[in-house]
Amino acid sequence: MKNRYYFLDNLRWVTVLLVLFYHVFYNFNSVGVFGGIGGFGPNQWQDIFCTLLNPWFMTLMFVVAGASSRYALRGRSPKEFRKERTRKLLVPSTLGLLVFGGVLGYFNMKIAGAAIPTEVPAFVRYLIMVISGTGPLWFIQDLFVFSLLLLVVRKIIDAERIDKWLSKLPNWGIGAVLVALFAIMWWASQSQIDNPSAAQGLLNLYRPIFYFVAFLVGYYIFSSERTHTYLAQYALPLIGLAVASAAGFCMEFYGKDYTSPEAVQGIWGNLYCFTATLAMFGSFSRWANHTSPFAGYMTRSSFGLYIVHMSVCTASCYLLKESELPIWSIYCLALVATYVGSVVLWEALRRIPVVRWCVFGIKRQHPTPNTKKVGKI
Low-confidence ranges of the chain (pLDDT < 50): 1, 366-377
Which CA distances in Å does 350 have to 105, 304, 305, 330?
21, 8, 11, 29
Q: How high is the pLDDT of residue 198?
A: 66
Domain coordinates in residue numbering, the chain:
6-360
In this structure, how many other beta carbons lie within 10 angstroms of the beta carbon of residue 132?
20
In total, the chain counts a number of residues equal to 377
d(CA 202, CA 25): 21
Q: How high is the pLDDT of residue 368?
A: 46
d(CA 168, CA 166): 5
Residues 6+ apart with CB under 8 A from 310: 23, 104, 135, 136
* The pTM of the whole model exceeds 0.85: yes
Q: How high is the pLDDT of residue 372?
A: 41
d(CA 16, CA 36): 19
d(CA 26, CA 174): 36
Q: How high is the pLDDT of residue 369?
A: 46
pLDDT digits (tens, 9 = 90+) for 323-361: 989 999 999 999 999 999 999 999 999 999 999 999 999
Q: How high is the pLDDT of residue 365?
A: 56
d(CA 159, CA 257): 38
For residue 133, give the nearest of 153, 171, 104 by alpha carbon: 104
d(CA 123, CA 51): 39
Q: Report H helices in 28-170.
A: 48-53, 57-74, 78-85, 91-112, 122-132, 138-156, 159-167
